[in-house]
Structure 1
Amino acid sequence: MAKHATKKKKYTFIDLFAGAGGLSEGFMQNGFQPIAHVEMNQFAAKTLETRTAYYYLKSKGKLEAYYDYLKGNVSREDFLKKIPEKYLKTVMCETMSDKSLPSIFGRIDGILKEQDINQVDVIIGGPPCQAYSLVGRAQSNHMERPMSEDPRNELYKLYAKFLKKYQPKMFVFENVMGIESANGGKTWKNVRAQLRRVGYEIEYQEQVASDFGVLQNRHRMIIVGWLKETNYHYPEFKPVETKAIVNDLLADLPPLHPGEKSGTYATTKMSEYLSKNNIRREEDVLTLHTCRPNKERDIEIYRKAIEAWNDGHKRLNYNDLPDELKTHKNRTAFLDRFKIVEGDMPYCHTLVAHISKDGHYYIHPDIEQHRSITVREAARIQSFPDSYYFEGPRTAQFVQIGNAVPPIMAKGIAKGIKKELQQGE
């Protein structure tokens, strides 16, 4: 009996609208076991498969096969043959809708039966937030169809249907702060009502990534729910103090100029921040450190933006540029469209999916490099480990990273959820 007692099952979770897996990563780093990741984007789903493979190989002490793949020594097809099907099928590349839910439920039910799991402990995830974001709504004024009519406004109802079916003990629903005011506040009122209607007490708070030790000023709405008539609460998140600056994320990466790439670290030494947070490990292979090519005009603007920042942390105003460097007709909005990553500060501005369009808002702080940041640098700003590989073309990689919950933040949230679950037993 004692032997059986020591073999306590891990807490389980389902990740909805999983994206590239930032939220999942934090929960898995905290010992939670994924039952399923549901994600509609094919590139993000492949990234989830690759990360699933990483965790399987790590558990078997066979990570050399993973690093072989990252080095390009083996094709993705041959690499995935090393992973048992029961692990890979936890990643479901599906568009959630009322029509597709029965099929998705059926697949998840099959996994639960196969793995002898009788309780989903937590559901995590956040419906795509463009329709709720303040920037998205500003842009919608110029669209044929306004954001208020965006079908993504209704995705929370699908999330609620998962709660109703699987009745997890708790859930984490992540979104942008703009969800409160979207649609004149109607959407937010409906979200809360729907989550309560399916049997949950809920509480919501604004959380800031930097309070969890992420070197980024990222504000998010984190809703936590728990089954009615249970004794769970919104976790208490104590701010994490870190003495690091953003340059601690970048200093060990080889310097590059626009259009260049490198697969070798500049030094074997790494900052205390990277080491302490397991962002870089000795065995890691450097991937995705490739620069966009930049036009000479943009390079000149980048230099001016860096010079302004170095001169007392001034921001470049687009209207202050010489006329020969100006190409945008709009001279009244987005005047800070060229922005430096604040290398000498404790955190930088929020990294968002727009980085996939251009890198002007994320200029490397080193004037000698005069370029926008690479995919790997963006991933580090989001606190992804260097072992995390993002599939797809560069544009898709940037979108995945920009939309993600920073894993270090997710790990802090998972820690709080686990504490609640343990106290409630």
Structure 2
Amino acid sequence: MRFLDLFAGAGGLSEGFVREGFVPVAHVELWESACYTLKTRAAFHYLINHNQEDTYASYLRGEITRDELYSNVPKEILDSVICKEIGDKTLPSIFSKIDSLKGQNDIDLIVGGPPCQAYSLAGRARDPNGMRDDKRNYLFLYYAKFLRKYHPKYFVFENVIGLLSAKDDDGVSYLDRMRAKFREIGYNTKYQVLSADDYGVLQNRKRIILIGKRTTEDFEYPLPEVVQSRYTVGAIFSGLPKINAGEGNYRYYSPRERHSQWLDDAHIFSNFPITYHCARPNSVKDLEIYRRAVELWNTQQKRLSYSDLPARLKTHTNQSSFLDRFKVVAANIRSSQTVVAHICKDGHYYIHPDIDQNRSLTPREAARLQTFPDDYFFESVSGKPSRTDAFKQIGNAVPVLLAQKIAGKLREVWEE
């Protein structure tokens, strides 16, 4: 079952489908850093399948360059990542590239979701015009062009729950417009709001997952079975070295043998070197706030309100809203707060629960919340590790385990 991944980001959605036996023909993504991440992950899969694990491990340890890593991989594997913005000017070249990659074979499935900022509740609240003028509102029309050209049996369209309420200038729901467009080109659609913590992810992350099938008849939504997790969020920290703010290593730590069973169940733990376990530095004021937030949670199971801080620690002019801007990723509950791309700007909403470490999450810990495996490496354009780029890619991704559950159920329906 061969698929295209549109607006692919760092590849969380794709990775879940690959785990279930789907084969990627191409990934299309605008951001160059994310494209390198996709290429490196494609290289990983190729090298693993050809018994060249040591080459990939050498790369994670920084012993070989990215170019040297890529030199061990066929060019067509790397070329399957198409680094272009999807638009009227680029569509012909994107289609041409995909056609050359797929040859005479069909595309069975298309997955992906356009950037969500135009539909998100937060984005609309910040924008004076409610994001109605944002061109990203209509990226689904390009998605439809791919459906029209390649006629896949199914497609999987992912987006934020703000899509349920987002409307255009005529007061028509964008979701309704999407479904009407997809129906016009031969696809019946159904959608559900899925919460990642129902499927083994230790994060409260709700997303609309719209499934389209090439049929005019009704069909049953391939809803994955809910997983009753026995783990708490503290499992994500298992086996990682303890570090303080400003400490850590971009390149590698040796994985520890003793770790939570959840890391195995979620397919996160591996024997490859662990990268991006590096904490951002913080000011003395921030670290005092972090300590207060952790102590309040540990002693009273209460969240810190910004309004309760002493005046000497308050630096924000807005003191009437977003009062939980400093928030602990509590280890003793079943799901954390949602990981979002804003984590690339500061870690105040993602404070480590260990008061002795007194810091915000590292990219590796955030990646574990998104169920990226420990051997997943997040790239930058320069080839040098970038904590900011890694955080942004991680925050924008679909949790890999959620994607895998969707893929597994879809494969089950497909085979039936």
2:166 to 182, 191, 195: 182
Q: Which whole-Å CA distance do the structure 1 matches of 2:352 and 2:9 have between them?
A: 26
* 1:253 maps onto 2:271 in alignment: no
- The answer to whether the 8 A contact 1:120-1:168 is kept is yes
* 1:171 maps onto 2:171 in alignment: no
More off after superposition, 388-397 vs 263-272: 263-272
Gaps of 5+ in 2: 381-385
Q: CA 1:265–1:338 in 2, change beyond 3 Å: closer, same or farther? A: farther
Q: Percent identity?
A: 48
Q: Which whole-Å CA distance do the structure 1 matches of 2:113 and 2:223 have between them?
A: 20
* 1:397 maps onto 2:390 in alignment: yes
Q: Which whole-Å CA distance do the structure 2 matches of 1:204 and 1:88 have between them?
A: 33
1:308 to 271, 274, 296: 296
Residue 343 of structure 1 corresponds to which residue in structure 2?
A: 331
Residue 26 of structure 1 corresponds to which residue in structure 2?
A: 16
* 1:211 maps onto 2:204 in alignment: no
Residue 137 of structure 1 corresponds to which residue in structure 2?
A: 124
Residue 421 of structure 1 corresponds to which residue in structure 2?
A: 414
Which secondary structure state, in structure 1, belongs to the residue aligned with residue 300 of structure 2? coil
Q: Which whole-Å CA distance do the structure 2 matches of 1:55 and 1:292 have between them?
A: 30
* 1:159 maps onto 2:140 in alignment: no
Which secondary structure state, in structure 1, belongs to the residue aligned with residue 410 of structure 2? helix
Q: CA 1:50–1:382 in 2, change beyond 3 Å: closer, same or farther? A: same
* 1:59 maps onto 2:49 in alignment: yes
- The answer to whether the 8 A contact 2:12-2:403 is kept is yes
- The answer to whether the 8 A contact 1:342-1:349 is kept is no
* 1:110 maps onto 2:103 in alignment: no
Q: Which whole-Å CA distance do the structure 2 matches of 1:265 and 1:299 have between them?
A: 28
Residue 197 of structure 1 corresponds to which residue in structure 2?
A: 184
Which secondary structure state, in structure 1, belongs to the residue aligned with residue 357 of structure 2? coil
Q: Which amino acid aligns with 1:120?
A: I
Q: Which whole-Å CA distance do the structure 2 matches of 1:179 and 1:33 have between them?
A: 29
Q: CA 1:21–1:266 in 2, change beyond 3 Å: closer, same or farther? A: closer
Q: Which whole-Å CA distance do the structure 1 matches of 2:320 and 2:8 have between them?
A: 37
Gaps of 5+ in 1: 1-10
More off after superposition, 315-324 vs 271-280: 271-280
Q: Which whole-Å CA distance do the structure 1 matches of 2:141 and 2:4 have between them?
A: 16
Q: Which whole-Å CA distance do the structure 2 matches of 1:280 and 1:264 have between them?
A: 13
Q: Which amino acid aligns with 1:249?
A: I
Residue 280 of structure 1 corresponds to which residue in structure 2?
A: 269
Q: Which whole-Å CA distance do the structure 2 matches of 1:128 and 1:332 have between them?
A: 29
- How far residue 277 of structure 1 moved from its aligned partner, in angstroms, is 2.2
Q: CA 1:272–1:384 in 2, change beyond 3 Å: closer, same or farther? A: same
More off after superposition, 224-233 vs 94-103: 224-233
- The answer to whether the 8 A contact 1:175-1:221 is kept is yes
Q: Which whole-Å CA distance do the structure 2 matches of 1:386 and 1:232 have between them?
A: 37
More off after superposition, 307-316 vs 197-206: 307-316
* Within-5 A mapping of 1:51-130: 51-113=41-103, 116-117=104-105, 119-130=106-117
RMSD (Å), alpha carbons: 1.3
Q: Which whole-Å CA distance do the structure 1 matches of 2:143 and 2:93 have between them?
A: 15
Which secondary structure state, in structure 2, belongs to the residue aligned with residue 410 of structure 1? helix
Q: Which whole-Å CA distance do the structure 2 matches of 1:271 and 1:331 have between them?
A: 39
- How far residue 185 of structure 1 moved from its aligned partner, in angstroms, is 4.7
Q: Which whole-Å CA distance do the structure 1 matches of 2:191 and 2:218 have between them?
A: 17
Q: Which whole-Å CA distance do the structure 2 matches of 1:185 and 1:310 have between them?
A: 47
Given the two structures, how large is their TM-score scaled by the length of structure 1? 0.93
- How far residue 194 of structure 1 moved from its aligned partner, in angstroms, is 1.1
Q: Which whole-Å CA distance do the structure 1 matches of 2:328 and 2:93 have between them?
A: 46
Q: CA 1:123–1:347 in 2, change beyond 3 Å: closer, same or farther? A: same
Provide Cα deviations, 1:113-168, integer angstroms capped at 9, x if missing partner.
1xx42x21110000000010001111113xxx651100111100000100011010
Q: Which whole-Å CA distance do the structure 2 matches of 1:189 and 1:156 have between them?
A: 12
- How far residue 228 of structure 1 moved from its aligned partner, in angstroms, is 1.3
Q: Which whole-Å CA distance do the structure 1 matches of 2:290 and 2:112 have between them?
A: 36
Q: Which whole-Å CA distance do the structure 2 matches of 1:308 and 1:185 have between them?
A: 45
Q: Which whole-Å CA distance do the structure 1 matches of 2:200 and 2:257 have between them?
A: 23
